[in-house]
A and B are shown apart, each in its own frame.
Chain A
């Protein structure tokens, strides 16, 4: 008995063959190639993407045969899990974005970053301000692109004008200002702390201002217990919470700060529903986007988080930049691309979006008043404190963030906060950390 192939089977075979030819390349195993560089970053706004695309286009013009493939991730995901996951397997990025601090050190330790000094053009490193270049492990692994200020208070200038308010000079004045806004029936602050880092970073800045940069950093080291007096800086958060500065019936419910996402809070502010919004210097790119889409209906001003009388005016800031994977098959091309991206031409365009470049010639880059203001803040700040999620071990940072999150949703009182944090640190210690 011979089994005959019916015509139906031929049709199936033809379809299968066609699909293999058309789309079968997706089944191929990944392999790193010298002519294709993968560039992983978190620039998601359209204006930033436009600049990057221009840089890539120019690079490909001057380097025929080499293409650059961009892998864009959301910065929240990248910061928590993406930056580690991308190094699994054979398809690792050749060039990738990162925040200086614990994570860069981790990358260097795990051999995901390479020493760039042999490949850099002579004199390239001198184009940056000296404090931005760090020698780690005897070489330079990290090329800085910018500094991000983590906490700035952005405000709706129309509302301020209407309520006759001016930019506060001290923390006490700012507290009074928030209460006044609330009394006038306007939501003082639209904040979304669902992912814990927005208010966590603000809390870290308060700590730094109250205690000083180094003492506050010690709190994040494993082992040391936390004393209640050390958390006095957080009293502002309790004050704002108790005076309902984070909620307003009709706009945002009390306690919603714990479940609102930071993106949604941003949208609330940009649609005019709140007087202020605390976010980092990168907010300027979102403002630019909203303005170009015609969705922004009011002028926006900004001032840094004011210090209380007698405290140091610390500022939470983190340097961001790029590293190169030692597994890349074309290190020379990778570094030449970075030199192009970090050159005056493209950095001045980034500066127009509020990016605070660390090049020596940065001050000439922009005419935007807000961007100029931020460069001045940076220059004037006597102390820089890293935000916990990039400066310290993730689990230590997480313990702090959770404590602040619970403080803001009323789960923990300020007087118990120190004990709570110490308890969490002890827990981590038992885990072997």
Chain B
């Protein structure tokens, strides 16, 4: 393929990506150092970062994010894994169940939010009071779990299907029961898939927005960093602080990904495989 052909093929995609994703990302970084006074720009330095460090609302949002991350780990990943293991066999019955469990994942989070908003409404709903202060975060995590467990189930099913039959046969001949087979044979072989699942779950926890915005728009106690950010920008017209929050959010996401990838390559080194 000629060099010119190569570049011609590559440039349009690159151009779109750079213009609509990369450049705005760097602009956000720059924006976070400026404040708008009226219509004029003032250089504010690290004002907004210093503010974020001491802002109790930001601490609460960050805490909620981390809590949400852990709860969804349970309700999405662990549940998905349990479902996958339970439905491993390729029977028709299992196939039907798999379709049923995955179906909520294709729904818009707006729909999910509105429907559960009704079900949990105070005073008139079917299960009132589930969205009250103390329970709100867990309830939202359960709703997320309902919507996404099927997604993780599918991923784990694919991973389980990749386990060679001989290994399972060997385990059976050794007299291992289902429980032992799971913990000592299947789980270790699912490591790759587990890393992917962790990656998606954790980055998803930071990126989550729709469900929180639709279900609990004005509640501070369940705000997460992404909703706090959007509120700052469109409600209070504070682009500087919003941009600073966006930068912090991005750093957190990249950091999480780096940790997971680092852990994976560390593990691979430990057991002697090439990364």
Contact = CB atoms under 8 A, between A and B. Distances in A.
- Interface size class, chain A: 20 to 34
A427 B59 CA distance: 13
Interface stretch (B88-96, B106-114, B235-243): B235-243
Contact of B237 (A84, A195, A252, A402): A84
B122 A427 contact: no
A256 B123 contact: yes
B192 interface: no
- Decide if the interface of chain A is mainly helix, strand, loop or mixed: helix
B218 A255 contact: no
A431 B123 contact: no
B38 A109 contact: yes
Given A110-B39, A430-B51, A253 B235 contact: no
Contact of A259 (B56, B122, B124, B234): B122
A264 B236 contact: no
A394 B234 CA distance: 11
A85 interface: yes
A84 B234 contact: yes
A327 interface: no
A267 B124 contact: yes
A81 interface: yes
Interface in B68-84: none
B123 A255 contact: no
Q: Name which of B35, B47, B128, B218 has the most chain A CB atoms within 10 A of its CB.
A: B218
A395 B131 contact: no
Nearest to B136: A259
Given A252-B123, A258-B133, A432-B35, A194 B219 contact: yes
A259 B131 contact: yes
Contacts of A81: 234-235
Given A196-B218, A394-B236, A430-B54, A264 B129 contact: no
Interface in A384-408: 394-395, 398, 402
A259 B133 contact: yes
B241 A256 contact: no
Contact of B132 (A196, A256, A395, A398): A256
A402 B236 contact: no
B44 interface: yes
A432 B44 contact: yes
A196 B221 CA distance: 13
B124 A264 contact: yes
Contact of A409 (B123, B133, B218, B235): B133
A149 B123 CA distance: 27
Nearest to B129: A253
Contacts of B39: 109-110
Contacts of B234: 80-81, 84-85
Contacts of A259: 122, 129, 131-133, 219
B123 A268 contact: yes
Interface string A251-263: 1110110111000
Contacts of B35: 432
A251 B122 CA distance: 10
Nearest to A255: B132
A394 to B, nearest CB: 6
Nearest to A394: B236
A81 B54 CA distance: 26
Interface of A: 80-81, 84-85, 109-110, 194-196, 251-253, 255-256, 258-260, 264, 267-268, 394-395, 398, 402, 409, 427, 430-432
Interface of B: 35, 38-39, 44, 47-48, 51, 54-56, 121-124, 128-129, 131-133, 217-220, 234-238, 241
15 contacts: A80-B234, A84-B234, A109-B38, A109-B39, A110-B39, A194-B219, A195-B218, A256-B122, A258-B132, A267-B124, A395-B238, A431-B47, A431-B48, A431-B241, A432-B47
Given A252-B123, A267-B124, A431-B47, 12 more contacts: A80-B235, A84-B237, A195-B218, A253-B132, A259-B133, A264-B124, A268-B123, A394-B237, A395-B236, A430-B51, A430-B54, A431-B238
